[in-house]
Amino acid sequence: MMKHASLIAALLLTAAASPAMAQNVAKPQLDQMKRLIAGSKFKAAQASLAKDYDRIIQDVITLTEIPAPPFKEKARATAFMEMLRAHGLSDVEMDEEGNVMGLRKGTGGGPLLVVTAHLDTVFPEGTNVKVRREGDRLHAPGVGDDTCSLPVLLAFIRALDAAGIATKSDILFMGNVGEEGPGDLRGVRHLFTKGKYKDQIRQFISFEPGRGRVTNGGVGSKRYKVTFKGPGGHSLGDFGIVNPAYAMANAITAFGKMQVPAKPRTVFNVGIVEGGTSVNSIPFEVAMTVDMRSEGAAELKAEEDYFLSILPKAVEEENAARSTAKGRISFENKLIGDRPVGLTPLTSNIVQTSAAAMVVAGVTPHFGPSSTDSNMPMSLGIPAVTLGSGFSTERSHSLDESLLLDREETVKHMAIGLSTVIALAGGTTG
């Protein structure tokens, strides 16, 4: 295991930015970041992160082993709220939606900055989340996405305090609910539409596993569950009457023929088909769940309009094809997911600052869109990015999800995230 002193020495040997790495980064942000990381207080903050590595890993294990299925994050949220309270933040609370948060007060004069990681995982209630260590990896469902980022936020608070770094901005450290699929961004949606800070937030960073990522675009999505209903009956005795499965098949076939652009990237999928009672019964009810996504708002709207237009036609086609003597086919359509499209321009200060922190540390930033908590503020025009929290993970969303234990690289990338937070919050490190 590397000694702390040698690790700090390695961290302070930042690589010179090559022209290729720096080509998308403006000189003012590069110069600001070079001054920031050269400061004695930032070096002390780096030392705190390195010293805390084992504590961070233990916190990852502790939180991973508290299940947080979609809509059932309260136990983990309560534990994380107590961790925030123990770190001396003010106004520590759980809001009406289940988000937990606390303020690290600034000196004043800076815009409120939110720094968050999501509490929920994709795994259903009853999943075995016991962490096991095998060689240089921790294995458990949810150990990476996004549990591992929560202790990083705590480490940031300790590092800021240990180094005595003051910021102009208040920083709202948060663990939010509802990022994963069925949650539909309900945590950050509440934060920005109903929460008590909704009119104060001017910058937003969410952290997820990874290194070198600058997610500055939000891939929007529309998700529907469509239920087709009919009279049902015996496959022999009622043969010839309308069948909701055929109506659904009509809709799926038409949906599959939809033309979408390659740019902005636009996709669609039928993810779930369900229904029926037995092989020798004409079903009285079947359903399909579909997903449509795009990087462009207009393109997503066009997808949705096309999808909605095919449903009545699919039903009409089946009602015309077979007997309706015992009843007609109908459908019910329910919107179950609605994530807005968003974009934070490459030229914005938050993107440039995030990239500058990577470049001065010798890391190439990778820009691009994804579907994250940042979608919500982006869609409202609030500068937002999702950044890598420093951990390298594999097999995300699988039962064999794992996290790499590589102390030096992890701390290096955590320090990149911390320097970004300090710069955006108006902190000084000299």
Task: Show the 3-state SS of 252-281.
Answer: HHHHHCCCCCCCCCEEEEEEEEEECCCCCE
CA dihedral 294, 300, 306, 310 (to 10 degrees): 70
Dihedral sign from CA coordinates of 270, 218, 392, 60: negative
Output the pTM of the full model.
0.91
3-state secondary structure of 392: coil
pLDDT in tens, 299-338: 999 999 999 999 999 999 999 999 999 999 999 999 999 9
> Considering 339, 359, 374, which residue would you say is the last residue of a domain?
339
Any idea which residue has 């929290």 for tokens?
A: 389
pLDDT of residue 428: 92
Query: Is residue 243 assigned to a domain?
Result: yes
pLDDT of residue 22: 57
- DSSP H stretches of helix in 136-261: 149-163, 186-193, 244-256
212 and 352 in a single domain? The answer is: yes
Dihedral sign from CA coordinates of 272, 141, 292, 263: negative
Number of domains in the chain: 2
pLDDT of residue 94: 98
345 and 327 in a single domain? The answer is: no
3-state secondary structure of 346: coil
Structure tokens at 161: 């305090």
105 and 13 in a single domain? The answer is: yes
The domain spanning residue 141 has which CATH number?
A: 3.40.630.10
238 and 91 in a single domain? The answer is: no
Name the residue range of residue 264's domain: 220-339
pLDDT in tens, 127-146: 999 999 999 999 999 999 99
Say if residues 393 and 143 touch (Cβ distance below 8 Å): yes
Query: Is residue 430 assigned to a domain?
Result: no
Any idea which residue has 């077979």 for tokens?
A: 322
CA dihedral 18, 23, 24, 27 (to 10 degrees): 80
Q: Which residues of the chain have pLDDT under 70?
A: 1-23
Query: Is residue 264 assigned to a domain?
Result: yes
206 and 71 in a single domain? The answer is: yes
> Considering 339, 358, 391, which residue would you say is the last residue of a domain?
339
Structure tokens at 417: 């995230």
287 and 376 in a single domain? The answer is: no
292 and 214 in a single domain? The answer is: no
CA dihedral 63, 410, 4, 132 (to 10 degrees): 40
3-state secondary structure of 196: coil
70 and 93 in a single domain? The answer is: yes
Phi, psi of 91 (to 5 degrees): 55, 40
Q: Kindly write down the DSSP assignment for every residue of 82-138, as one continuous string.
A: HHHHHTT-EEEEE-TTS-EEEEE--SSSS-EEEEEEE---SPPTT-----EEETTEE
Gap between the terminal Cα atoms of the chain:
31
Query: Is residue 429 assigned to a domain?
Result: no
pLDDT of residue 15: 37
> Considering 339, 371, 402, which residue would you say is the last residue of a domain?
339
353 and 324 in a single domain? The answer is: no
Taking the C-alpha atoms of residue 257 and residue 255, their distance in angstroms, rounded to an integer, is 5
Structure tokens at 106: 């600034």
357 and 288 in a single domain? The answer is: no
133 and 237 in a single domain? The answer is: no
Structure tokens at 426: 């108006």
3-state secondary structure of 139: strand
Instruction: List beta partners, residue 430.
Output: none
298 and 349 in a single domain? The answer is: no
Query: Is residue 212 assigned to a domain?
Result: yes
E strands in 349-404: 366-370, 384-388, 393-394, 402-404
Q: Strands 384-388 and 171-176: what pairing? A: unpaired
Phi, psi of 209 (to 5 degrees): -55, 150
